Structure 1
């Protein structure tokens, strides 16, 4: 079961990265470099916490380690939220000129990840 969850998380994060890079390359034709940089920063604010959460969520396995699984899952959730907040604060301070691009990048990457999880989990079952 954990192997399937780990595989699902890796595939979802991979799709999230591919979609983000594809859209940023296409956007280079229509937008300025600082706007694309803000978009990529917003996407990274979504991607990096997902990687951290996936690591913590699938660190332990088995019925004998149920307490460790729950504790690790909880830690992963807390770290994901904290990391997202910290990255947003840093991004808003470093890239104050394009906040809409930052939020669009975050939203697209987050939606991509959510849809990937839904589609891939339905495909696996």
Structure 2
């Protein structure tokens, strides 16, 4: 009996790819705006906060959305659980590393841009391309 691997989609073809790109644009614009109006420390603090939100989302997207098709149902569920667990752990580790290793730091900028990037997830259904009607 031959074991068949589920089909994997390339990363740029994932339905969540536009959401990740929108998040990265928000990170860049917010960090530049903070740098321009509040100085260098606020700028790189905002960049750190945005990356703390974006990198775990990138990891989750890679883990959770790499399988497709009805035959891959078990792999999809398994990868969603693994992606979410990894996302939570990665977020905690990145916050710890940022607050322990980056001095000086503007905590308000870190948390502000972190929350701003998380808000993009609310608009994910509007940003995601649905491929249900296409093969």
Please, what TM-score do these two structures have when normalized by structure 2? 0.78
Whether 2:100 is the aligned partner of 1:100: answer no
Kept in 2, the 8 Å contact 1:60–1:69? The answer is: yes
Is 2:30–2:113's contact at 8 Å kept on the other side of the alignment? no
What is the correspondence of 1:79-90 to structure 2 with a 5 Å cutoff?
79-90=86-97
Tell which structure's C-alpha radius of gyration is larger. 2
In the alignment of these two chains, the number of paired residues is: 120
Name the one with the larger helix percent: 1
Q: Secondary structure at the match of 2:67?
A: coil
Greater than 4 Å deviation, 4+ residue runs: none
Q: Cα gap change, 1:8/1:42 in structure 2, threshold over 3 Å: closer, same or farther?
A: same
C-alpha displacement of 1:35: 1.4
Q: Give the secondary structure class of the aligned counterpart of 2:16.
A: helix
**How far apart are 1:24 and its partner, in Å?**
1.9
Structure 1: where are the runs of 5+ without partners?
none
Structure 1 partner of 2:18:
11
- Preserved contact between residue 56 and residue 86 of structure 2 (Cα < 8 Å): yes
